[in-house]
Structure 1
Amino acid sequence: MGEPHVVSLRATRDTDLDILNLITRDAGIAAGPTSATLGSDPADRRTIRADGEIVGDVARWHEAGCAFVSYRVDGARRDDGIAGRALRLFVEVLDERPVRARVAAGDTGSIRVLERLGFEPDAAWPTAAIALGAPDDDVVYLLA
């Protein structure tokens, strides 16, 4: 499809949920780059729109006293640069640092998105993540 001209975020509305659930189911997405589900009462959730079309969402929540962010984008739009643009918009307005993101160790695309935004591996987190029941192959990235 090519990179969209406009990527925007808006507060997620109830009317967005059916489309977001379809995107998740059709793409086989668990919850973007994290193993946490976005439906687990996020502190802040925004719908991602590309050229006016709903293509995914971003969220922030707290886990073990730490702020986490996650995103998910329609698989058909995954190579359009939307994830990085949307996550950048989202973290730029967050009023807290540090924030973390959990990603599967083999998800090189999501790792690349996080690293381009300044996230770095959080060496202090593996023990805490496993204690919270996170999969052993998850890696936590930190934006200070």
Structure 2
Amino acid sequence: MDIALREVHDSDLPVFFRQLNDPEALRMAAFTPEDPADRAAFDARWARARTSSDVVRTILGDGDVLGSAAVYGEPGEREVTYWVDRAYWGRGVATAALRQLLAEVPERPLYARAAADNAGSLRVLEKCGFTPSARTRGHAPARGVEIDEVVLHLLDRTPGGG
């Protein structure tokens, strides 16, 4: 499958909203909006992201919208995030998309966070050169409880390098 990133189009937002409301994906991501079904809040978040200094991209697989990837936050504290449709988990989509995003955004350091039990996401981040640097606990809205979270960092400018 040919994985590519491009600017987010308005027509991508309904796909992102559907993906955000997949119960299994929500549980895995854990640190999600309080009410992912609130379409007005979803639209407002995306409108802010698309007009900010954040780098937000649509992930395409053979031309189809498979998810999103972004770098957001203040300089020196910027984080990566990504969301891939559950139908494509385990197929290398997140790794390929994150590597492309890291090549596009050369600034370092970058940070990432994942639920400690989200082995798939942790593996993607490590394949792309992120190194675990801390463990914290935080409220996971998608699970309604406090859970362990792994904080990772990337210092190297080489995509996939650490």
* TM-score of the pair, normalised by structure 1: 0.80
Looking at structure 2, the residues matched to 27 and 56 of structure 1 have their Cα atoms a distance apart, in angstroms, of: 16
Measure how far apart 1:30 and its partner are. Answer: 3.7
Measure how far apart 1:24 and its partner are. Answer: 1.9
Correspondence for 2:20 among 16, 24, 39: 24
Aligned length: 135
Cα distance change of structure 1 residues 78 and 22 upon mapping to structure 2, 3 Å threshold: same
Q: How does 1:55-66 map to 2 (within 5 A)?
A: 55-62=66-73, 66=77
Correspondence for 1:13 among 6, 9, 22: 9
Q: How does 1:1-144 map to 2 (within 5 A)?
A: 4=1, 6-26=2-22, 28-30=24-26, 33=29, 35=31, 39=45, 41-42=48-49, 43-62=54-73, 66-123=77-134, 126=136, 136-144=147-155
Looking at structure 1, the residues matched to 27 and 106 of structure 2 have their Cα atoms a distance apart, in angstroms, of: 23
Where 2:106 maps in the other structure, the secondary structure is: coil
Measure how far apart 1:7 and its partner are. Answer: 0.1
Measure how far apart 1:29 and its partner are. Answer: 3.0
Q: Specify every segment of 5 or more residues in structure 2 that has no aligned partner in the other structure, as ranges.
A: 34-41, 141-145, 156-162
Q: Specify every segment of 5 or more residues in structure 1 that has no aligned partner in the other structure, as ranges.
A: none
* Structure 1 letter corresponding to 2:127: R
* TM-score of the pair, normalised by structure 2: 0.72
Cα distance change of structure 1 residues 24 and 86 upon mapping to structure 2, 3 Å threshold: same
